[in-house]
């Protein structure tokens, strides 16, 4: 999202902000639209919104999770999953006409993987302590193969009809003949052979955990690591028609630690579900984790998708810090499609540098895919378990409801413009309010009037865009004008006497035209920031008779400010101008032009630099009374008398306005020596001094000087013979 100004004022002097000129709230990037609520819409990484592939619910089996889906040659879909607890899991079927049935119940908590052979027989792998069952057309199930493994993660058939079984906790790949005879085909030396696919040459493509390996295993059992991913668990692998391999990794790798003390074996109801969720913890809502045996709390780092070219070159083509990839498939154009959680998002990988969030489904996880002719894609979900179809046709309409825009202050709304293919067919509505969340006490949704916002002026605004067929939304711009408010002078402080600030630049000074751009990838705040006065001021220098003041002033519109400084005596009524059109938040002046006494300052802040003269506003504040004191204290009664070989010296000091703060004496012009008053405390307008001093032989000159609080001083002397 961008906030911009209209007109040539963009290239303005650094001293002029033009904060109340017309601005534009502009949304044109993925980050802008991700904060919106998208219904039946797709969002590309370059910020383009289009109608999403049509989603249709095919079957709701009333289970918590569906983990796997497969399709036979007649178009019948099979789906398997599981629930929370229990010792039985169901296999469901939906025929091409949409009629659903429960095929069979199997021992185990879930059906993690499905495969279908050339005779349309279904093979289902259960977990934990899994077995592979073969189910015939009548629904009769029999154990086809027992790998003696804790988990079965994936099944895949080779061209020869052999069934390959990916397992854990030993990370083995088993090969099973059509007759049901099987054995270990390959040991990955990992804890889990987590995912499995077969390429056109009957090579196995295997993803592992916890090292995040992607292996190619030849039909003769020769293994080769294609890529060691930065992530620890390769949850899914898929081979594109052109032989390109896609793989998804989740979870950050963690340093090895000493193994914990042995724990009692878990009961079946506490066994980890696929991807590492303990199925007794439904609140976790995560059917995939950093490791199949890790707790949900250990899942950190999001997920990534890697593309391995046919020559073996690997490249990361997608990543997300929150979404976890559970399934990969391909659309009719060969683009990789990723099913994720925990927000039910489905992504399409458009290129190495771009992608599209195709849609979000209500269930929080998309756990498996199955392709069908004509570009249709079937998916199963978790939390809750459903069987759905995706595309290839598009939705007939979709709605974007934007995030709430904060203009920073009460604002007038203006013209709305959109960019994109057939953007004129997009219906825009708006609503506004003065509460930072769009709920009660906002205006109703209103259509535009002559392409202008019809909602009431307010601080907050939201828009709703409805797209129809063949329309694409790439940018939304809404003009607005913040109502001007008067600046506020918050505090005034007079500075110590006899010090001055540097000379101000003044209005006539030459200023360099500048324009500061944000760093690439960063954008200004959505709302204009008020001018922020830090209260700092430059160092002052000594200048006898000078006095100064500084002040805090802010403007909610972010306007540039100028100041007027006036002064009057504490008992006077008329203000006298000291200085006008001050741009700095400080000023100093010669106080010797003013009679001694108490005075008050008035600082008036004006936003004139940022507004037309008839629209500028001002705010003022009066200071506390302060003193102007340039008269020196008076010294009287200076006398001296011999006393025990020394001189006893006495005098009296008096100041009209401030305390006498210091007294010194000097004998015959030698160094000045500090002397305390009789009371020892310099805390009054009048002080008496009495002290003994050395008495040199012959004629002696005695000088005394005193200072008041404003550093005014007097000197008198006597001569003693």
> Hey, where are the domains in the chain?
21-52+398-482, 58-254+280-344, 488-628, 634-720
Read off the pLDDT of residues 378-432 as tens digits, 9 standing for 90 and up: 999 998 999 999 999 999 999 999 999 999 889 999 999 999 998 888 999 999 9
- Measure the CA–CA gap between 5 and 419, rounded to whole angstroms: 18
CATH for 21-52+398-482 is 2.60.120
Residue 54 Rama label (left phi>0; alpha psi -120 to 50; beta)? beta
Other CB atoms within 10 A of residue 471 CB: 22
3-class DSSP string for 199-224: CCCCCEEEEEECCCEEEEECCCCCEE
Read off the pLDDT of residues 505-564 as tens digits, 9 standing for 90 and up: 654 455 556 666 767 666 655 555 556 677 788 999 999 999 999 999 999 888 899 999
Read off the pLDDT of residues 622-655 as tens digits, 9 standing for 90 and up: 999 999 999 999 999 999 999 988 999 999 999 9
- Measure the CA–CA gap between 343 and 291, rounded to whole angstroms: 20
What is the model's pLDDT at position 536? 86
pLDDT > 90 in the chain, percent: 76
Do 555 and 531 touch, CB atoms closer than 8 A?
yes
Residue 221 Rama label (left phi>0; alpha psi -120 to 50; beta)? left
Other CB atoms within 10 A of residue 572 CB: 12
β-pair partners for 446: 430
β-pair partners for 648: 641, 692
Lookup: tokens for 641: 């008398």
What is the model's pLDDT at position 351? 94
**Side-chain-side CA neighbours of residue 646 (13 Å):** 7
String of b and e for 238-273 (b: at least 16 CB within 10 Å)? bbbeeebbbbbbbbebeeeeeeeeeeeeeeeeebbb
Average pLDDT across the chain, whole number: 88
Q: What is the mean pLDDT of residues 209-237?
A: 97
Assess whether pLDDT exceeds 70 at residue 713: yes
Contacts of 389 (CB under 8 A, 6+ apart): 55, 56, 58, 376, 377, 378, 379
What is the model's pLDDT at position 534? 75
- Measure the CA–CA gap between 557 and 407, rounded to whole angstroms: 10
CA distances from 455 to 47, 427, 616 (A): 26, 15, 26
Assess whether pLDDT exceeds 50 at residue 18: no
Q: Where residue 503 falls among pLDDT bands split at 50, 70, 90?
A: confident
CA distances from 679 to 34, 109, 595, 657, 682 (A): 76, 95, 31, 20, 8
Q: What is the mean pLDDT of residues 453-461?
A: 97
Q: What is the mean pLDDT of residues 271-296?
A: 34
Read off the pLDDT of residues 31-64 as tens digits, 9 standing for 90 and up: 999 999 999 999 999 999 999 999 999 999 999 9
CA distances from 494 to 287, 601, 628 (A): 67, 9, 11
Residue 386: strand, helix, or coil: coil
DSSP state at residue 711: -
Read off the pLDDT of residues 328-368 as tens digits, 9 standing for 90 and up: 999 999 999 999 998 999 999 999 999 999 999 998 999 99
CATH for 634-720 is 2.60.40.10
Do 326 and 368 touch, CB atoms closer than 8 A?
yes
Q: Which CATH class is domain 58-254+280-344?
A: mainly beta
Question: Could you check whether 488-628 and 634-720 share the same CATH topology?
Answer: yes
CA distances from 331 to 53, 198, 351, 376 (A): 11, 18, 14, 8
Assess whether pLDDT exceeds 50 at residue 227: yes
Assess whether pLDDT exceeds 70 at residue 301: yes
Q: Where residue 82 falls among pLDDT bands split at 50, 70, 90?
A: confident
Answer whether CATH 2.60.40.10 is correct for domain 488-628.
yes
Assess whether pLDDT exceeds 60 at residue 88: yes
Assess whether pLDDT exceeds 60 at residue 222: yes
Return the minimum-mean-pLDDT range out of 135-149, 257-271, 320-334, 406-420: 257-271
Read off the pLDDT of residues 93-132 as tens digits, 9 standing for 90 and up: 999 999 999 999 998 889 999 999 999 999 999 988 889 9
């Amino acid at each position: 999202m961008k906030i911009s100004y209209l007109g040539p004022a963009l290239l303005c002097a650094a001293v002029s902000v033009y904060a109340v000129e017309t601005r534009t709230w502009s949304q044109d990037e993925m980050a802008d639209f991700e904060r919106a609520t998208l219904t039946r819409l797709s969002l590309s990484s370059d910020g383009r919104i289009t109608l999403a592939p049509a989603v249709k619910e095919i079957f709701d089996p009333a289970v918590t999770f569906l983990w796997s889906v497969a399709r036979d040659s007649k178009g019948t879909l099979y789906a398997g999953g599981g629930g929370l607890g229990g010792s039985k899991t169901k296999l469901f079927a939906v025929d091409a006409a949409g009629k659903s049935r429960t095929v069979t119940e199997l021992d185990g908590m879930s059906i993690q993987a499905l495969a279908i052979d050339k005779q349309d027989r279904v093979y289902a792998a259960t977990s934990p302590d899994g077995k592979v069952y073969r189910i015939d057309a009548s629904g009769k199930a029999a154990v086809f193969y027992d790998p003696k493994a804790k988990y079965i993660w994936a099944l895949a058939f080779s061209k020869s009809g052999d069934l390959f079984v990916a397992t854990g906790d030993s990370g083995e790949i088993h090969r099973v003949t059509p007759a049901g005879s099987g054995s270990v085909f390959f040991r990955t030396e990992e804890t889990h052979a987590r995912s499995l696919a077969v390429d056109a040459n009957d090579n196995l493509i295997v993803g592992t955990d916890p090292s995040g390996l992607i292996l190619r295993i030849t039909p003769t059992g020769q293994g080769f690591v294609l890529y060691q991913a930065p992530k620890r668990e390769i949850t899914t692998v898929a081979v594109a028609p052109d032989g390109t391999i896609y793989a998804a990794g989740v979870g950050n790798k963690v340093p090895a630690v000493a193994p914990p003390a042995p724990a009692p074996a878990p009961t079946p109801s506490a066994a980890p579900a696929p991807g590492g969720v303990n199925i007794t913890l439904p609140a976790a809502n995560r059917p995939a984790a950093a490791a199949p045996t890790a707790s949900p709390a250990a899942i950190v780092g999001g997920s990534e998708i890697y593309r391995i070219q046919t020559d073996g070159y690997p490249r990361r083509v997608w990543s997300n810090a929150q979404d976890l990839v559970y399934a990969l498939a391909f659309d009719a154009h060969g683009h990789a499609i990723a099913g994720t959680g925990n927000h039910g998002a489905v992504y399409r990988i458009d290129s190495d540098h771009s992608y599209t969030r195709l849609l979000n489904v209500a269930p929080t996880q998309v756990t498996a895919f199955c392709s069908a002719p004509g570009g249709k894609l079937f998916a199963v979900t978790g939390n809750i378990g459903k069987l759905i179809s995706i595309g290839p046709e598009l939705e007939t309409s979709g709605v974007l409801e934007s995030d709430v825009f904060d203009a920073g202050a009460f604002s007038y709304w203006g013209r709305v413009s959109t960019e994109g293919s057939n953007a004129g067919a997009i219906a825009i509505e708006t609503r506004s309010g003065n509460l930072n969340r769009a709920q009660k006490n906002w205006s109703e949704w209103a259509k535009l009037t002559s392409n202008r916002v019809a909602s009431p002026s307010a601080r907050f605004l939201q828009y709703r865009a409805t797209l129809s067929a063949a329309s694409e939304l790439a940018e939304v711009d809404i003009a607005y004008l913040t109502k001007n408010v008067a600046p506020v002078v918050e505090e005034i402080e007079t500075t110590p006497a006899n010090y001055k600030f540097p000379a101000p630049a003044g209005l006539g000074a030459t200023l360099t035209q500048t324009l500061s751009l944000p760093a690439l990838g960063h954008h200004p705040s959505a709302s204009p920031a008020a001018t922020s006065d830090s209260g700092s001021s430059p160092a002052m220098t000594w200048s006898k008779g000078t006095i100064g003041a500084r002040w805090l002033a802010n403007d909610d519109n972010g306007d540039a400010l100028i100041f007027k400084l006036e002064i009057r005596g504490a008992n006077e009524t008329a203000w006298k101008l000291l200085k006008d059109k001050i741009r700095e938040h400080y000023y100093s002046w010669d106080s010797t032009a003013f009679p001694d006494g108490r005075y008050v300052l008035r600082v008036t802040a004006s936003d004139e630099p940022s507004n037309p003269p008839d629209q500028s506003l001002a705010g003022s504040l009066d200071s506390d009374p302060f003193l102007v004191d340039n008269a020196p204290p008076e010294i009287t009664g200076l006398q001296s008398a011999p006393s025990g070989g020394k001189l006893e010296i006495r005098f009296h000091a008096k100041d009209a306005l401030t305390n006498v703060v210091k007294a010194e004496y000097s004998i015959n012009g030698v160094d000045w020596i500090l002397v305390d008053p009789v009371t020892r405390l310099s805390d009054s307008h009048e002080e008496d001094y009495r002290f003994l001093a050395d008495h040199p032989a012959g004629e002696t000159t005695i000088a005394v000087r005193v200072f008041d609080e404003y550093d005014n001083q007097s000197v008198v002397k006597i001569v003693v013979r």
